[in-house]
């Protein structure tokens, strides 16, 4: 039975509704992990380093689609809650058109500037050539990658989360299949990995367009529209926190690499790379919950259903705390297995990775609440508070921790930086939730 945004949500109904979004986000995280696994095991260390070096640049540009999706879904969901379905369709259509246009422009600029960016990140020689090769292939499909991010939010808003899951699953599975085919069978090396990713991006962005461009049974359809400048501005401000998270993450990775090279050399960077893959996958689960829950919050905010906002906040906090605790236990328990998948060939490196991952895993207990807190204010159309939480959490607190703590505690400080940052962010999130309770009536 289809679950509608207007319903009262029990724990079971809420988890069933957000489950497709959780799976969608985990499939999205597969791109870099799968490419990294196949390239590391079948191509070599230098191409593997090239992927990890240029990947943050690609992610920052692709995150513009996530910004448009989360920010736009909040506006469209609120408009649906107000009962104006035709206007919601026009807003939705405008956001789709503009996102694809931005993707063309930004993708072209990215394609042209990949060599410069790679050099600034320290690449030279063969590593530089590999960065350019991989970066230009995946950036040529950036408009579709941005649409894939966009529709992850809008499929939920359209009350079709399972359809969004299907599209993302097709994209993710195609990436895995073509990685195996192009790299392990055809021996196309790094170019094969990039082509496999590009095919997944195209499928992930094009299939939702084909669905929404025709008449369908969902709440949304791509139709004729007009220019709504204020809607686009609100979309960008609403989703700015999600974009900021990705920009900050790229800066943080560079700072981590600087400290790790200083303290442990290449082994430290390799160990953090593996930890990053594991964290990326686990945090995607927490992000998926927030993406899936946000349209519900926006709808009931638009409908002025304060009792349901209270219900959603209370249940979401409990779910995120419980889910974070479970992810922490899984990560600590499976650390030897997860480390051996990527670096099992080097006992010393594997041991360092296991140790670091077990400490880093404590952050999962906190990150779910902080991620949801930011997404909750985005859904309430308060992009400023959402952006403040995200900026402080992912940039100020984590960058500050990475710059300071390792100088005091060495390698142990490296692995605990994220925990300190999440604790500080939790304080900020709690303050805003308490301070804004009377304005939105969720407590």
Condensed to tens digits (0 to 9), the pLDDT of residues 175-231 reads 889 999 999 899 999 999 999 999 999 999 999 999 999 998 888 999 999 999 999
Contacts for 243 with CB less than 8 Å, ≥ 6 apart: 63, 64, 66, 67
| DSSP classification of residue 54 | H
**φ, ψ of residue 191 in degrees (nearest 5):** -60, -35
Q: Between 368 and 168, whose confidence is greater?
A: 368
Comparing CA positions, the residue from 288, 281, 280, 249 lying closest to residue 25 is 288
- Model confidence pLDDT, tens digit, residues 318-371: 999 999 999 999 999 999 998 888 777 778 888 988 999 999 999 999 999 999
- Model confidence pLDDT, tens digit, residues 128-144: 899 899 999 999 999 99
- Whether 420 has a pLDDT exceeding 90, the answer reads yes
State both tokens at 114: 């990949």
Amino acid 83: pLDDT: 87
- Whether 1 has a pLDDT exceeding 70, the answer reads no
Q: How many CA atoms lie within 13 A of 443 on its CB side?
A: 10
Burial class (CB in 10 A: 0-12, 13-18, 19+), 108: middle
Amino acid 45: pLDDT: 67
Q: What percent of the chain has pLDDT over 70?
A: 97
Q: What percent of the chain has pLDDT over 90?
A: 40
Contacts for 435 with CB less than 8 Å, ≥ 6 apart: none
- Whether 31 has a pLDDT exceeding 70, the answer reads no
Cα 317 to chain centroid distance, Å, stands at 20
Task: Say what the pTM is.
Answer: 0.74
- Whether 53 has a pLDDT exceeding 70, the answer reads yes
Mean pLDDT over 306-328 rounds to 92
- Whether 98 has a pLDDT exceeding 80, the answer reads yes
Mean pLDDT over 23-39 rounds to 74
State both tokens at 303: 């409908």
Range of weakest confidence among 60-74, 243-257, 348-362, 426-440: 243-257
Mean pLDDT over 379-396 rounds to 86
State both tokens at 326: 């479970």
């Amino acid at each position: 039975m289809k679950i509608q945004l207007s319903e009262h949500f029990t724990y079971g109904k809420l988890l069933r509704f957000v489950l497709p979004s959780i799976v969608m986000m985990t499939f999205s995280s597969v791109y870099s992990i799968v490419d990294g696994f196949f390239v590391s095991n079948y191509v070599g260390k230098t191409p593997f380093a090239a992927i990890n070096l240029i990947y943050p640049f690609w992610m920052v540009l692709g995150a513009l689609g996530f910004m448009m999706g989360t920010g736009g879904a909040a506006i469209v969901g609120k408009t649906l809650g107000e009962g104006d379905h035709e206007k919601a369709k026009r807003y939705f259509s405008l956001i789709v058109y503009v996102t694809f246009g931005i993707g063309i422009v930004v993708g072209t600029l990215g394609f042209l500037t990949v060599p410069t960016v790679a050099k600034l990140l320290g690449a030279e020689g063969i590593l530089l050539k590999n960065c350019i090769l991989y970066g230009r292939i995946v950036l040529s499909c950036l408009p579709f990658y941005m649409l894939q991010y966009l529709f992850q939010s809008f499929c939920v808003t359209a009350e079709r989360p399972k359809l969004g899951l299907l599209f993302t699953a097709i994209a993710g599975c195609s990436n895995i299949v073509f990685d195996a085919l192009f790299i392990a069978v055809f021996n196309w090396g790094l170019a094969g990995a990039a082509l496999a990713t590009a095919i997944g991006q195209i499928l992930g962005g094009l299939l939702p367009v084909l669905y929404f461009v025709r008449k369908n049974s969902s709440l949304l359809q791509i139709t004729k529209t007009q220019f709504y400048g204020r809607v686009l501005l609100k979309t960008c401000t609403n989703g700015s926190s999600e974009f900021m998270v990705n920009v900050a993450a790229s800066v943080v990775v560079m700072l981590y690499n600087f400290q790790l090279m200083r303290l442990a050399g290449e082994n430290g960077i390799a160990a953090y790379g593996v930890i990053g893959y594991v964290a990326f996958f686990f945090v995607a689960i927490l992000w998926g919950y927030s993406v899936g829950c946000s349209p519900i919050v926006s709808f009931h905010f638009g409908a002025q259903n304060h009792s349901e906002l209270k219900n959603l906040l209370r249940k979401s906090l409990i779910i995120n705390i419980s889910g974070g605790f479970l992810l922490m236990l899984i990560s600590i328990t499976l650390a030897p297995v997860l480390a051996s998948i990527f670096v099992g060939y080097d006992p010393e490196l594997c041991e360092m990775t296991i140790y670091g991952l077990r400490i880093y895993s404590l952050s999962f207990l906190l990150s779910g609440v902080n991620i949801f807190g930011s997404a909750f204010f985005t859904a309430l159309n308060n992009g400023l508070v959402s952006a403040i939480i995200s900026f402080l959490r992912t940039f100020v607190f984590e960058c500050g921790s990475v710059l300071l703590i390792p100088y005091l505690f060495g390698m142990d400080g490296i692995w605990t930086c994220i925990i300190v940052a999440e604790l500080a962010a939790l304080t900020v999130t709690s303050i805003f939730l308490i301070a804004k309770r009377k304005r939105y009536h969720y407590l």
